[in-house]
């Protein structure tokens, strides 16, 4: 059963007309479940693979409903479509995140500060950073297991993550070039802001001590310098903006006021270079709850507003360098995956498959 905090608890997928096939493989020491192999049309030589990354304290077993709904919906839409593009097969893959499910070593490492885990920040970032790395490893080796005779090829990789899996999906989008579309459900693109806010709410000694609240948090035992250095290199908000201004992040959590400085021409060129390197031609859908208290959207709104403000405006002709970005915040929605969110997921997944055949890649959306 999903954990009490699981955002999947609120989503009950419709009962499909037929169950979805599932087959488990042992790949690189990871039990990996592939959904939809039996449903691939006989004439489909190219396959799109969706990587499903689960929430904290859940496991791959909790992703069965999502896999079933998404794969069946894709084929239902294909049947109703008049598109002349070549039929592609569609599969979904799930595996246990590090220290979860069959890979659990220390249950306390999956808890937060309020539950007594003093290492909450390094434990959480290392788990989902490692899970993103595992995704890349499995992308390398999956074809050898599911298509041993090279009878089909995987022509596209997408990722969808919920909560902790959403954090990992952001890392997959940034650091795995083979993943060209991603859905982040109640996930965080700014780890420092998320942890600083939790430190404040948890009334950690490292937050309360110092000249002002929060001034002693970064670099303390709750957020060691070594962790900060890794976050600087990997976290979306730090990587894409080209800097991690720790003092401004802490002030933002303390006061609620934060604004990215305006870039000069040199800064804009640097930013564009970073975006090209990490997100060129990718499609991103972010789904958040306006009343989410566990991963509050307000913490990431400055970063998301900045990012949406520097991507090519809607209708721009960025060609294969376009970034398609949708950022949807649902009213009266907490830390959950709702039916309304799921409808956006299904629409985005199908459109992303079709986008693989478009000569200029994705068109840019600025929401």
pLDDT score of 319 more than 50: no
pLDDT, tens only, 54-66: 999 999 999 999 9
Phi-psi region of 150 (alpha: psi -120 to 50; beta: other; left: phi over 0): left
pLDDT band at 367 (very low <50, low <70, confident <90, very high): very low
Residue at 203 is within a domain: no
pLDDT, tens only, 202-237: 999 999 988 889 999 999 999 999 999 999 999 999
DSSP state of 165: H
pLDDT score of 267 more than 90: no
Question: How is residue 184 written in tokens?
Answer: 């982040």
pLDDT band at 287 (very low <50, low <70, confident <90, very high): very high
Q: What's the domain count of the chain?
A: 1
Residue at 117 is within a domain: yes
Question: How is residue 237 written in tokens?
Answer: 């908000």
Residue 257 pLDDT: 74
Distance CA 346, CA 76 (A): 11
Q: For the domain that residue 302 is a member of, what is the CATH number?
A: 3.40.50.1820
Residue 58, domain extent: 7-189+275-355
- Mean residue pLDDT of the chain comes to 89
Distance CA 196, CA 194 (A): 6
Distance CA 219, CA 222 (A): 8
Residue at 230 is within a domain: no
Residue at 361 is within a domain: no
Residue at 366 is within a domain: no
Residue at 84 is within a domain: yes
Closest CA to 171 of 155, 194, 188: 188
Distance CA 297, CA 186 (A): 8
When pLDDT is averaged across residues 280-308 and rounded to a whole number, the result is 94
* Contact call for residues 157 and 49 (beta carbons, < 8 A): yes
DSSP state of 323: -
pLDDT, tens only, 138-187: 999 999 999 999 999 999 999 999 999 999 999 999 999 999 999 999 99
pLDDT band at 336 (very low <50, low <70, confident <90, very high): very high
Residue at 65 is within a domain: yes
pLDDT band at 78 (very low <50, low <70, confident <90, very high): very high
Helix (H, G, I), strand (E, B) or coil at 284: strand
When pLDDT is averaged across residues 57-82 and rounded to a whole number, the result is 93
């Amino acid at each position: 059963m999903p954990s009490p905090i699981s955002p999947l608890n609120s989503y009950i997928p419709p009962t499909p007309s037929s169950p979805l096939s599932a087959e488990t493989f042992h790949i690189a020491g990871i039990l990996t479940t592939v959904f939809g192999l039996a449903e691939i049309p006989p004439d489909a030589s190219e396959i799109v693979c969706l990587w499903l990354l689960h929430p904290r304290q859940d496991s791959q077993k909790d992703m069965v409903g999502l896999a079933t709904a998404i794969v069946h919906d894709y084929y239902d839409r294909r049947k109703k479509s008049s598109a002349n593009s070549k039929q592609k097969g569609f599969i979904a893959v799930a595996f246990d995140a590090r220290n979860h499910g069959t890979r659990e070593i220390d249950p306390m490492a999956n808890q937060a500060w309020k539950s007594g885990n003093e290492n909450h920040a390094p434990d959480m970032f290392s788990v989902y950073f490692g899970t993103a790395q595992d995704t890349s490893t499995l992308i390398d080796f999956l074809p050898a297991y599911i298509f041993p005779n090279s009878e089909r090829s995987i022509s596209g990789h997408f990722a969808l993550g919920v909560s902790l899996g959403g954090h990992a999906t952001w890392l997959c989008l940034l650091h795995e070039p083979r993943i060209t579309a991603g859905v982040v459900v109640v996930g965080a693109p700014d780890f420092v802001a998320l942890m600083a806010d939790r430190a404040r709410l948890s009334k950690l000694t490292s937050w309360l001590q110092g000249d002002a609240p929060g001034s002693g948090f970064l670099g303390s035992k709750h957020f060691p310098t070594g962790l900060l250095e890794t976050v600087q290199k990997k976290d979306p908000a730090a990587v894409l903006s080209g800097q991690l201004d720790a003092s401004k992040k802490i002030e933002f959590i303390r006061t609620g006021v934060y604004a990215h400085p305006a870039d000069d021409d040199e800064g804009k060129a640097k930013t564009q270079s970073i975006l090209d390197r990490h997100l060129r031609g990718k499609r991103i859908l972010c789904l958040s709850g306006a009343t989410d208290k566990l991963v509050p959207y307000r913490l990431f709104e400055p970063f998301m507003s900045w990012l949406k403000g520097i991507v090519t405006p809607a209708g721009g002709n960025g060609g294969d360098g376009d970034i398609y970005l949708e950022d949807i915040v649902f009213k009266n929605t907490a830390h959950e995956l709702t039916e309304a969110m799921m409808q956006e997921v299904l629409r985005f997944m199908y459109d992303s498959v079709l986008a693989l055949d478009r000569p200029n890649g994705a068109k840019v959306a600025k929401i």
